[in-house]
């Protein structure tokens, strides 16, 4: 009987445990369900939908090479899949396990209605595999990383299976009818330019091969926003166009320090998912006590944060490195990691605005918006999470900008500052600010003192 493969953030043919298991069991019907109901408030953001459109297009092309088809359906996933199983007489639904809380619930419901075969494969190791000596999951990154390094000894990558199709294909939607691309206004021009048509498994693998040529410098270059020194695999990994296991294996010949650092970054991704598995609402609620609505500047207590939040979102805070990052985010749907940290720290510490506003904005604007990675990194920067309390470690945007040589990065994303010299550009309020660039929304010293005082009084 036919086997349904339920595709979500695993839009690839290679190293796909569910697809391979289905292909061994019978003719395969690959299905993607656009489900805006199950995730409720965690409906996919605008930039991710844009990426999804292109990724599905690439996947449909890859399936076409196997004389297979990608069936598109829309609705509540558990209902759609149960209905499709009945319609096609499918023997089973196969899927790669996902850990977002809404997907776990959907998997549970579906397993009561059809034969659901869940497989691992979107992480280096299934979350929960690596545990402390006493058998508990890790909460802190460094010991988790060490245990992962110990546990991983390369992977057996599963090749693309050969696929046969059912006698009759079920009907599906037309991708262009889903409206995943913006209509008017067309806000995706910057994203088209930045990503240059590079979607899907083949494009991701090609980009990664090029990155391997410079991976030896990754340790230093990964901190320099003006350099193209990171892999930019995040949207490919998030949507599952490549598996992290494929990247790990592709690096096996590389023993330099840069490759070693890169492996640790891939482990961060697994770590985030381990945290989500333990604390499913981690991206919604602070883990630590004391960081509720009363800690942050809050409209309910008369703080007018709306304009400041908007200035941050639009990249008009008067801090060039923050503004460059926020404009890169809006235009490209991606932001350099160093600047993600600086901009996030600025929101929660300089502006004292609840990290959840920032998390939401990143969620909507990032092509790699990921429930685990986004939530875990926001709580880490904010000092509200499982790690040691970082709230009092306040990043200084101006010195970060100098230290990590961001002048050309600022020129690219904040063109009104392009004519300033390498020394002036980090802090144009020092007497050289062009008229069309805003003054600082708050002074650094003042903001720092306010944040520290807020922290101190919250402990009294
Ligand atoms: P590289 O440096 O080439 O790293 C390779 C891969 O390792 C990345 O693609 C990613 O999958 C993983 N990785 C690297 N750093 C981290 C990290 N700190 N946490 C988890 N995984 C990591 N990443 C997302 O994928 N989605 C998000 O929604 C997201 N939100 C973030 C929010 C904040 C506030 C911060 C500080 C970081 C966030 N990150 C997020 C992590 C990181 O910034 C991006 O993964 C990275 O910038 C992507 O670029 P790259 O692929 O070139 O990374």
Average pLDDT on 19-41 reads: 98
CB atoms within 10 A of CB 30: 26
Output the DSSP codes for 137-153. Answer: BP-SHHHHHHHHHHH--
Average pLDDT on 105-109 reads: 98
What's 131's DSSP letter? B
Going along the chain from its start, the domains and CATH numbers come out as: 1-121 (3.40.50.620), 123-155+199-279 (1.25.40.80), 299-459 (1.10.579.10)
**pLDDT tens digits, one per residue of 175-190:** 999 999 999 899 999 9
Contacts of 423 (CB under 8 A, 6+ apart): none
Q: Is the pLDDT of residue 377 over 90?
A: yes
Helix (H) or strand (E) holding 33: strand 28-34
Output the DSSP codes for 337-405. Answer: HHHHHHHHHIIIIIS---HHHHHHHHHHH-TT--HHHHHHHHHHHHT-SSSS--TT----HHHHHHHTT
Contact 116, 98 (CB under 8 A): no
Q: What is the pLDDT of residue 335?
A: 98
What is the pLDDT confidence band of residue 201, given thresholds at 50, 70 and 90? very high
What is the pLDDT confidence band of residue 304, given thresholds at 50, 70 and 90? confident
Q: Is the pLDDT of residue 430 over 80?
A: no
Tell me the residue ranges of DSSP E strands in 75-135. 92-96, 116-119
- Cα 337 to ligand 1 centre (Å): 6
Annotated ligand binding at 230? The verdict is yes
What is the pLDDT confidence band of residue 379, given thresholds at 50, 70 and 90? very high
Average pLDDT on 397-407 reads: 97
Average pLDDT on 225-254 reads: 97
Answer whether 221 contacts ligand 1 (Cβ < 6 A): no
Answer whether 337 contacts ligand 1 (Cβ < 6 A): yes
Query: What whole-number percentage of the chain has pLDDT above 70?
Result: 100
Tell which one of 228, 368, 409 to mutate to probe ligand 1, the residue whose CB is within 8 A of the most ligand atoms.
Answer: 368
- Residue whose CA is at the smallest distance from ligand 1 atom 10: 234
Q: Is the pLDDT of residue 128 over 90?
A: yes
- Residue whose CA is at the smallest distance from ligand 1 atom 31: 374
SS (H, E, C) 300-334: HHCCCCHHHHHHHHHCCCCCHHHHHHHHHHHHHCC
Checking DSSP bridges between strand 116-119 and strand 92-96, what pairing results, if any? parallel
Q: What is the pLDDT of residue 439?
A: 97
Closest CA to 280 of 6, 42, 11: 42
φ/ψ of residue 387, rounded to 5: -80, 180
pTM: 0.98
Q: What is the pLDDT of residue 388?
A: 79
CB atoms within 10 A of CB 67: 10
Average pLDDT on 195-202 reads: 97
The residue whose two tokens read 């003719």 is 27
- Residue whose CA is at the smallest distance from ligand 1 atom 52: 232
Closest CA to 311 of 439, 429, 431: 439
Structure tokens at 307: 């304009």
CB atoms within 10 A of CB 315: 22
Q: What's the CA gap between 202 and 257, in Å, rounded?
A: 27
Q: What's the CA gap between 123 and 100, in Å, rounded?
A: 13
**What number of helices (H) and strands (E) belong to the chain?**
19, 5
The residue whose two tokens read 């639009």 is 314
**pLDDT tens digits, one per residue of 52-83:** 999 999 999 999 999 999 999 999 999 999 99
Answer whether 368 contacts ligand 1 (Cβ < 6 A): yes
Contact 114, 92 (CB under 8 A): yes
Q: What is the pLDDT of residue 386?
A: 95
Q: Is the pLDDT of residue 299 over 90?
A: no
Q: Is the pLDDT of residue 300 over 90?
A: no
Contacts of 146 (CB under 8 A, 6+ apart): none
**Cis bond leading into 333, ω under 30°?**
no
Q: What's the CA gap between 194 and 344, in Å, rounded?
A: 22
- Looking at every residue in the chain, the average pLDDT score rounds to 96
- Cα 373 to ligand 1 centre (Å): 7
Closest CA to 187 of 306, 329, 336: 329
Q: What is the pLDDT of residue 389?
A: 78
Structure tokens at 389: 């309390």
**Packed helices 355-365 and 337-345: angle between N→C axes, nearest 10 degrees:** 150
Annotated ligand binding at 370? The verdict is yes
Tell which one of 148, 222, 234 to mutate to probe ligand 1, the residue whose CB is within 8 A of the most ligand atoms.
Answer: 234
Torsion angle, alpha carbons of 190, 196, 200, 201, to 10: -140
Q: What is the pLDDT of residue 421?
A: 96
């Amino acid at each position: 009987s036919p086997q349904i493969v339920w595709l979500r953030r695993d839009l690839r043919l290679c190293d796909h445990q569910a697809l391979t298991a289905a292909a061994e069991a019978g003719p395969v019907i690959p299905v993607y369900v656009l489900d805006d109901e199950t995730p409720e408030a965690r409906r996919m953001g605008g930039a991710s939908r844009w990426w999804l459109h292109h990724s599905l297009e690439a996947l449909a092309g890859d399936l076409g090479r196997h004389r297979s088809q990608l069936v598109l359906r829309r609705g509540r996933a558990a209902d759609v899949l149960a209905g499709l199983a009945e319609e096609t007489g499918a023997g089973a639904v196969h899927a790669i396990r996902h850990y977002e809380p809404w997907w776990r619930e959907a998997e549970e419901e579906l397993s009561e209605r059809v034969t659901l075969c869940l497989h691992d494969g979107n992480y280096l190791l299934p979350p929960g595999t690596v545990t402390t000596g006493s058998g508990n999951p890790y909460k802190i990154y460094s010991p988790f990383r060490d245990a992962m390094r110990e546990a991983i000894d390369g992977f057996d990558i599963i090749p693309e299976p050969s696929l046969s199709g059912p006698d009759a294909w079920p009907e599906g939607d037309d991708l262009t009818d889903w409206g995943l691309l913006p209509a008017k206004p067309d806000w995706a021009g910057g994203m088209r330019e930045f990503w240059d048509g590079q979607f899907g498994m083949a494009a991701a693998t090609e980009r990664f091969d090029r990155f391997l040529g410079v991976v030896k410098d990754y340790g230093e270059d990964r901190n320099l926003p003006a350099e193209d020194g990171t892999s930019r695999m995040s949207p490919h990994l998030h949507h599952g166009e490549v598996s992290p296991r494929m990247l790990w294996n592709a690096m096996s010949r590389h023993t330099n320090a840069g490759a070693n650092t890169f492996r640790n970054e891939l482990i961060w991704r697994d770590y985030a998912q381990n945290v989500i598995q333990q604390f499913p609402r981690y991206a919604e609620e602070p883990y630590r006590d004391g960081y509720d609505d009363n800690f942050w500047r809050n409209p309910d207590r008369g703080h007018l944060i709306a304009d400041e939040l908007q200035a941050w979102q639009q990249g008009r805070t008067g801090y060039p490195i923050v503004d460059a990052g926020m404009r890169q985010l809006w235009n490209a749907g991606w932001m350099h990691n160093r600047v993600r940290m600086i901009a996030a720290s600025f929101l929660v510490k300089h502006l004292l605005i609840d990290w959840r506003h920032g998390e939401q904005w990143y969620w909507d604007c990032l092509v790699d918006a990921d429930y685990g990675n986004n939530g875990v990194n926001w709580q880490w920067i904010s000092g509200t999470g499982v790690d040691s309390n970082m709230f009092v470690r306040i990043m200084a945007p101006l010195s970060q900008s100098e230290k990590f040589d961001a002048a050309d990065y600022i020129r690219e994303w904040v063109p009104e500052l392009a004519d300033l010299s390498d020394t002036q550009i980090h802090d144009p309020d020092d007497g050289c600010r062009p008229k069309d660039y805003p003054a600082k929304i708050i002074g650094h010293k003042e903001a720092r003192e306010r944040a520290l005082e807020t922290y101190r009084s919250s402990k009294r």
